[in-house]
Amino acid sequence: MQNLPTENISFTFFKLNGFYSLGEWRHFLFIPYFLMLLLSTTSNSILIYLIISQRSLHSPMFVLIGLMAIVDLCLPVFYVPSMLFSFLFDWNQISLIGCLIQMFCIQYFGAYQSTFLLWMALDCFFAICRPLSYHKQMRMSNFLKFVIVPVIRNLLLNIILVALAGKLNFCMNNEIDHCFCEHMGLVQLACGNTSINNLLGLTFAFLIPATDFVFIAVSYIIIFVSVMKSGKFSMKAINTCTTHIIVMTSGLIFVFLAFLSYRIRNSLSTNSRVFISTMYTLFPSFFNPTIYGIRTKEIRKQFLKLFRLMTVLPQ
């Protein structure tokens, strides 16, 4: 019987082998990742509840924070539960269709972590530098012009990236050294030329988080210059901007470390690369609401009020 060339074989099921080199110790990873998921779910749910229930938080800035909390709440759901089952029971198989869907959901929702920060920077810009036109600019009819371009950009880039990955022929093997379907983790299993996919992966990184970072940085530079020139030092404005800068910088560091880890793999162990990639999506999900809850006076005030109410009710 004649053997078929491997180029004619394309795997349609894959094994997610993240952290498998840890052996029996891999099962213990369930604990930290479960705790991070629990913290993310709890903190984002509380933040969403506060913003919905408290009328004092129904301003554009807090609505944007609430929408980011929804993204942070949903994002881990696309991969952390299956990752936890894999740690406990070694359930690590996924179909190509399931892999592409998971990839799209993680990348599409993840893209909005920087995009929401861009919209928050615009809110700060109008509130501090253009206070007389703030309410006009932040009306939904006017604010949509700032929304539509990033939304179309995020959607189109993700569709193109995932569609081109789905057309590849996967004949190398069917083991992805990751805990979820990441673009480069899947593409590196393909036969033939994948230079376009690699280029698009880098383009995705620079056209979404990097571009958002540039616009955010420019906005905050203008804001700080405007505050200094006015001679009226606004601690509230500085605190708001500083909070956004902390969130933006921490998220951006993990994103670029995750993308670069595939280009400098000889300098990084597989476990380190997988850990960085899981953190760039999971870390902001539990870090963002904690930072906003601590550093934003209005949210902190409403949370303390809710906490006091909850402690009084049982009595």
Q: 3-state SS of the chain?
A: CCCCCHHHCCCCEEEECCCHHHHHHHHHHHHHHHHHHHHHHHHHHHHHHHHHHCHHHCCHHHHHHHHHHHHHHHHHHHCHHHHHHHHHHCCCEEEHHHHHHHHHHHHHHHHHHHHHHHHHHHHHHHHHHCHHHHHHHCCHHHHHHHHHHHHHHHHHHHHHHHHHHHCCCCCCCCEECCCCCCHHHHHCCCCCCCHHHHHHHHHHHHHHHHHHHHHHHHHHHHHHHHHHHHCCCCHHHHHHHHHHHHHHHHHHHHHHHHHHHCCCHHHCCHHHHHHHHHHHHHHHHHHHHHHHHHHCHHHHHHHHHHHHHHHHCCC
Task: Answer yes or no: is pLDDT of 257 > 80.
Answer: no
Give the model's pLDDT for residue 51: 92
Q: What is the mean pLDDT of residues 178-185?
A: 86
Task: Answer yes or no: is pLDDT of 93 > 80.
Answer: yes
Task: Answer yes or no: is pLDDT of 168 > 60.
Answer: yes
What is the share, in percent, of the chain residues with pLDDT greater than 90? 23
When the pLDDT of each residue in the chain is averaged and rounded to a whole number, the result is: 83
Task: Answer yes or no: is pLDDT of 312 > 70.
Answer: no
pLDDT, one tens digit per residue, over 195-246 is: 888 888 878 877 888 888 888 888 888 888 887 776 665 666 666 677 777 7
Give the model's pLDDT for residue 232: 60
Give the model's pLDDT for residue 152: 92
pLDDT band at 262 (very low <50, low <70, confident <90, very high): low
What is the share, in percent, of the chain residues with pLDDT greater than 70? 89
pLDDT, one tens digit per residue, over 51-88 is: 998 888 888 888 888 999 999 999 999 999 999 999 98
Q: What is the mean pLDDT of residues 16-30?
A: 87
Domains and CATH numbers, the chain: 12-309 (1.20.1070.10)
Give the model's pLDDT for residue 47: 92
pLDDT band at 4 (very low <50, low <70, confident <90, very high): very low
Give the model's pLDDT for residue 98: 93
- The region of weakest confidence among 35-39, 120-124, 137-141, 266-270 is 266-270
Task: Answer yes or no: is pLDDT of 162 > 70.
Answer: yes
pLDDT, one tens digit per residue, over 136-146 is: 888 877 888 88
Give the model's pLDDT for residue 231: 63
Give the model's pLDDT for residue 146: 83
pLDDT band at 2 (very low <50, low <70, confident <90, very high): very low
- The region of weakest confidence among 131-140, 165-174, 254-263 is 254-263
Q: What is the mean pLDDT of residues 273-280?
A: 82
Give the model's pLDDT for residue 227: 78
Task: Answer yes or no: is pLDDT of 186 > 70.
Answer: yes
Give the model's pLDDT for residue 278: 85
